[in-house]
Structure 1
């Protein structure tokens, strides 16, 4: 017994050292500098920068041209003196000659974002490419700062710009129908400067998603007289834009616990919901969010409802849907969103929805933004429940948690797959998202194009990206929940969110937080699921009789530690016994497990199976043993 205890201690020490050995070379200095810590908490020297944006813009839905002025106040909280500032011009992804992962309509290719004026610290600078002062490449604009931005100081920028919103291509945003738009990635945005890579200078090429710093936004947008706007943040001037009848509905919706139809089909015909003030300006503010997006339309319906998301404080959120009258599924989306946000706030992850609003806009596809979702219409109730809840789940990951999706897409997409599984299952008949995720992952696992999630997302493409970002991590989180139990998993998730919300966690912060909070080194689980090539593959290789028992031998032919859920059937197909082992049965490197059953089981048994559809397996044919 003493030897066994010493062995267990040694194995635990090896696992702990093993996680340190898995830390990438470029990440290790962060631990040495004290910006990250081995217990998973932000290090004592952790800091991040912050930006205030004040934007005045005008959008013409007929031409798709947006003109704007942006004032940027960038605060450097690092001790480093920054000799340059990096600006993202995401719409340069449509610029002639730039690299793209997706095909776009040739009609949407343009000459790039037009910068007509740039002032740095109050001094106008030459943005002409021939001047050599500003360096533009890919979707970046790098501006030298001769005096530097010292630690603890700020830099003010002012930019006048014009951008052409794509009319044919709808990559996460664009034009839907004749005059409806969802507009994102539209303003000059300061790139992230962090403790791992310094300035994020990875150009956007469509496949990978985004990495944004936290900021405050004060946005005023001028639209044609008959247009409405829904956006990130809180609507500041509803009394200036809405006539009294609709202002009353708007205010009532926030107070109501059931969906209020703010604008109906009949209202669209009357066109009496907007004031004719001579200037159709819409004003929104958002605090401490990583991005700002908006939708506009001159013919959308509008539903709203309030929800108490934090019962301790009584804080409420305003949940909305803006949609095409022809989109039949969207008439229920506001209600689905209400239930989803309540689920996320109270069940999984059980963290109160962190923002004051959420609007699901009926555009196309499925894409998340802070307090906004751009979703297309779907054909089934289950699809509406799944799409809506998945995109709203992104509120926590990446936005509330500041995830770097460019490098670690699995840290947000995997959770957006896993967190709503119970909600999706319970709110749509014959809907089994956990089984579907396991099945889809199994179909690709182990192929040469299937790589571990830890590979930087920006080096992946096509289905390799999807499996590494969605299917494998989504399955891994479900398997981790199965091992820990829902309560322990939820508690660890809440601790992870508590530690890292409003910051920028990296994979090791997640791993170390779970280890630290749970008091258990889970490297045996994290390493194969997130770092190693391999596949899930259990097999029943033998059933034999020994003295007064029946022994079932189960081998792990793959890499992943999986739970065992053995069912034994009699000739009528009835389950006569069930035996389960947690995934930890493989933690010490064992290649097989033998499960002992009472001898009487073997007398009536005709079939032994480990074919639980929620557990992935690349060769399901060897998951059963039939009595011969």
Structure 2
């Protein structure tokens, strides 16, 4: 028993210490939420300044690639060789290099297949069972040899998704090394195994769509703030990569169409004359031009070429390279201009996506580039590509999205807006993290959260009625009101997040939108956010750099905001507890007598008096009038001449400033608030007055600095108030709106009587108004 008590005591002490680590004044109602982040941020140094900008001695590594790859369509295999030139720009001598082999994620022997829990459900799909059994496919990167440029073998060690190359001599600062890697891997079926890259097989026509990503051995990042980023790739935490220049030759079946990172150097050699002429036409087109038409794509599906073609690509100052290859692709393109510089916006898609992608995709790409450029930096690359591949993933200048129509060419509203949103999101990743190159393996929110915020801005500039799912504050409420054991701070490592979408995408996007609309102002936020992108374009920022830059460029102390939204899990729940109404006692007997009379008569009202009167009771003083005297007859509220004279003398004695206060005729309202949720936020009030007019008043979050739990504030109003509403525009993510009004009011809702319908599991009875409308028109015709 004593041992158990000792263990429990130690556990409580540990828990108390852990919860108090981020508190400056534990156990108090102040001195915690508004204290500076201090030791929670990285110390500034010569590489990263206290302002959030790169320091005077900032450095980063560089890796250039010269790659030759062949896509084996018969065996679904990539065969490749590459020459890597690695520049050591750091002050550190290096004795080894770390290479990422991300395709080893699919290796049956990799730990990635062991570390996730699993369970038996009442109904199990073949795919569910296969995941438990494991895949017998010969998957993962097969390294054939690693040599220096002279062909001398280099020693290497593969540890799951990472490969260490031991250098024959120390790579000194400000020097470079060249080496070669030969490799191949079997392309996985991403529709069954999962993953970001792979193939999709179309059984109806016997063809493949290849989305080739994380496909070549790639240098890991070596940085000033963590050394080598050699954390294993297990699926959720994405990629941290150095910038460099790429020359890539891709050999594929002659009837395949290829789209890739960078600019193709030999379109004239790989395209038929008619398609090359359309490509030239697209250079000045204001509407998308089909370089490969739908008819041409359909014809290519029916036949398979035996020859091969090699497409040559070049890309400068990018962190990665990806491509799509298939014979079943439509390809359209048009020019768009960012600050006078031309970028080719392009889309690749199969016939099943044509009704949606032909109408929207390339125009959405162009809109995204323009909007993101407005809020961050001008898009610097010559190409931006959207590929329909039934998924969503991003790489420099190319991304893979979803959006397929029904067989009759119709589509639902959900598919339409889902497609537009995913294109905006994935194209937007060109800015975060392809250019502002944060470490996704460590901090997913710096990539996904910032990008989702910009996605929201872009959606809203596409259509004022756009049904954005992430960004508006009220959309995050259901997540923030979840039990504490299902939540984690935004500042959580990517691999440890339970609710990945809400935590890494939606909550940081919401926080940034609240900063812009509610805390800082659009003008201050937009300037600071743009400054962050400008400072860290083509560099490797950390969360500290972002936090510091936003404050440095705006002169707004935001430590309380980062502490609450990014380092904590408390929700917003501010309550209006009480409202008290006051007005100044004028001491003017003429003005005060009517009010005094009402209060006196109110004091004479009780249930006994009312029932006695209703019962017709004969009171003694009514039966014996001799009992009545002066006090039964006089008007105690009659204003006497003496009282009037006394008031006039008092008023005359006031100095001008006192008279100004006296004459204000204000109504005073004392409001008491509670911070039930724990996350401090501004107090936003909508006052509704007796004449029907309204006023919105905003109180900064600093109102909570001396008492983080409760606050009382008095407001002076010219007009009488009939109601007060807290957070009227739902802009603070308050999880309980039932305590946001005075007087309290109940929310209206509805119910209906319905006839129960049984839907087969795995199917949907969702509406498709486009199809229904088309069917109705056909019936009329």
- Correspondence 1:160 to 2:182: yes
Q: Which moved more, 1:443-452 or 1:369-378?
A: 443-452
On the 8 A contact 2:52/2:549 being kept in 1, the answer is yes
Corresponding residue number in structure 2 for 1:362: 388
1:478 to 2:513 alignment: yes
On the 8 A contact 1:382/1:429 being kept in 2, the answer is no
Pairs within 5 Å for 1:310-459: 310=339, 314-327=340-353, 328-331=355-358, 332-346=360-374, 348-349=375-376, 351-377=377-403, 379-380=412-413, 381-428=416-463, 430-433=465-468, 437-445=472-480, 447-458=484-495
Contact 1:94 1:108 in 2 (8 A): no
Q: Which residue of 2 aligns with 1:186?
A: 215
Check conservation: 1:437, 1:471, Cα contact below 8 A. no
In structure 2, stretches of 5+ residues that fail to align are: 1-30, 117-127, 203-207, 405-411, 584-666, 746-781
CA distance 1:149–1:531, change in 2 (3 Å)? same
Equivalent position to 1:172, from 173, 196, 199: 196
**Does the 8 Å contact 1:610/1:624 carry over to 2?**
no
1:426 Cα deviation after fit: 4.1
Residue 495 (1) aligns with residue 531 (2): yes
Q: Which residue of 2 aligns with 1:150?
A: 172
Contact 2:63 2:86 in 1 (8 A): yes
Q: Distance in 1 between matches of 2:529 and 2:274?
A: 44
RMSD: 2.8
SS in 2 for 1:213: coil
Alignment map for 1:90-109 (pairs within 5 Å): 90-100=102-112, 106-107=134-135, 109=137
Q: Is the 8 A contact 2:261 2:397 kept in 1?
A: yes
Match of 1:5 in 2: none
How far the C-alpha of 1:440 sits from its partner, in A, is 4.3
CA distance in 2, matches of 1:230, 1:176: 16
- 2:545 alignment partner, one of 509, 515, 518: 509
Shift of 1:564: 3.2
Residues 73-111 of structure 1: CA distance to partner in whole angstroms, max 9, x if unpaired? 101011211011111100000112212267885447535
Query: CA separation in 1, counterparts of 2:150 and 2:237?
Result: 35
The answer to which of 425-434 and 60-69 deviates more is: 425-434
CA distance in 1, matches of 2:543, 2:706: 23
In 2 relative to 1, CA 512–298 (structure 1 residues): closer, same or farther, beyond 3 Å?
same
Q: Deviations over 1:109-146 (max 9, x none)?
A: 535311112103534327xxxxxx42211200111113
2:699 paired with 1:581? yes
The answer to which of 213-222 and 427-436 deviates more is 427-436
Q: Does structure 1 conserve the Cα–Cα contact (< 8 Å) formed by 2:575 and 2:676?
A: yes
Q: Which residue of 2 aligns with 1:88?
A: 100
Distance 1:83 1:296, change over 3 A: same
Could you tell me how far apart the structure 2 residues matched to 1:79 and 1:16 are?
38
Task: Flag the 1:187–1:37 CA change in 2: closer, same or farther, 3 A.
Answer: same
Q: Is the 8 A contact 2:387 2:398 kept in 1?
A: yes
Distance 1:587 1:361, change over 3 A: farther
Q: Which digits, 9 at most, give the CA deviation of each residue in 1:24-68, with x for residues without a partner?
A: xxx54xx34x21111111122211110110000100233210000
Task: State the distance in 2 between where 1:386 and 1:219 align.
Answer: 31
Give the counterpart of 1:551 among 655, 664, 670. Answer: 670
**Secondary structure, counterpart of 1:497 in structure 2:** helix
What is the SS of the residue equivalent to 2:485?
coil
SS of equivalent to 1:211 = coil
What TM-score do you get using the length of structure 1 for normalisation?
0.88
Residue 43, structure 1, aligned to residue 55, structure 2: yes
For residues 704 and 311 of structure 2, the distance between their equivalents in structure 1, rounded to whole angstroms, comes to 58
Contact 2:471–2:513, Cα closer than 8 Å, also in 1: no
Q: Aligned partners of 2:529, 2:464: CA distance in 1, in Å?
A: 28
Whether contact under 8 Å (1:577, 1:601) holds in the other structure is no
| Aligned CA distance change for structure 1 residues 571 and 607 (closer, same or farther; 3 Å) | farther
Identify the match of residue 254 of structure 2 among 225, 250, 255: 225
CA contact 2:452–2:470 (8 Å) conserved in 1: no
Counterparts of 1:293 and 1:151, CA distance in 2: 30
Distance 1:172 1:444 in 2: 26
Cα distance in structure 2, aligned partners of 1:499 and 1:71: 31
Distance 1:306 1:15, change over 3 A: same
Alpha-carbon distance between aligned partners in 2 of 1:579 and 1:142, rounded to the nearest angstrom: 60
Aligned ranges 1:270-349 → 2 under 5 Å: 271=300, 279-310=308-339, 314-327=340-353, 328-331=355-358, 332-346=360-374, 348-349=375-376
Choose the corresponding residue for 2:242, options 213, 217, 221. Answer: 213
> In 2 relative to 1, CA 71–436 (structure 1 residues): closer, same or farther, beyond 3 Å?
closer
Hey, what does 2:662 align to over in structure 1? none
Q: 1:330 to 1:582 in 2, by over 3 A?
A: farther
- In structure 1, C-alpha distance between the alignment counterparts of 2:274 and 2:323, rounded to whole Å: 24
Work out the CA distance in 2 between the residues paired with 1:586 and 1:238. Answer: 63
Q: Is the 8 A contact 1:172 1:364 kept in 2?
A: no
**Pairwise CA distance, 1:616:** 0.8
How many residue pairs are counted as aligned between the two chains? 592
The worse-fitting range, judged by mean Cα deviation, of 156-165 and 244-253 is: 244-253
User: How much has 1:338 moved relative to structure 2?
Assistant: 1.4
Match of 1:251 in 2: 280
Q: Distance in 1 between matches of 2:705 and 2:32?
A: 12
SS in 1 for 2:572: coil
* Structure-1 separation of matches of 2:702 and 2:343: 41
Structure with greater strand share of residues? 1
Q: Which residue of 2 aligns with 1:76?
A: 88
Query: 1:431, 1:172 → 2: CA distance?
Result: 28
**CA shift for structure 1 position 620:** 2.5
Secondary structure of the residue that 1:386 maps to in structure 2?
helix
Q: Which has the larger radius of gyration?
A: 2
Deviation at 1:611, TM superposition (A): 4.5
Give 1:18's match in structure 2, choosing from 32, 36, 52: 36
**Structure 1, 503-512 or 607-616: larger mean CA deviation:** 607-616
Change (3 A) 1:121 1:282: closer
Say which is worse superposed, 422-431 or 287-296, in terms of deviation.
422-431
Asked if 2 retains the 8 angstrom alpha-carbon contact of 1:418 and 1:475, the reply is yes
